[in-house]
Amino acid sequence: MTGYIAELEFIVRDYECDLQGVVNNANYLHYLEHARHELLISRGISFSLLHEEGTDLIVTKAEIEYKFPLRSRDRFMVRTAVRKEGLIRLAFIQDIFRIPDEKLIVKAKVTGIATREGKPVRFDSIFTLLGLT
């Protein structure tokens, strides 16, 4: 995938692994979410400020393909690209790679929308901050 606009490095912690010694599949969603939050924060998008103003960003769909497992103490990188889908959807295309060999671990697409009073609204200011017009 090309077009990544952010990357964030992690290390697997022991408690994230299951009895088989690999990262529990639910933890990959946490890694992806943290990388998305850091990207938005780096672009000046504050979840708490948006919420105070009456707008909430929510995930509406998460697609994830597990390609290869991570194990305790593995270092890895989450790389993120974003694209606009229609007038109100924002898709985060996220891939996880093991460091240092760049082995593809996970491919994911997480789609979200902004809501105001529970109803979808346009993302225009957020699209602009992410460089999507």
Active site members: 18
- The neighbouring-strand residues paired with 15 are none
Cα 116 to its chain centre, rounded Å, is 22
Q: Answer for the pair 88, 123: CB distance below 8 angstroms, yes or no.
A: yes
Q: Answer for the pair 77, 8: CB distance below 8 angstroms, yes or no.
A: yes
Closest CA to 55 of 105, 120, 122, 115: 115
What are the φ and ψ backbone dihedral angles of 52, each rounded to 5 degrees?
Answer: -60, -30
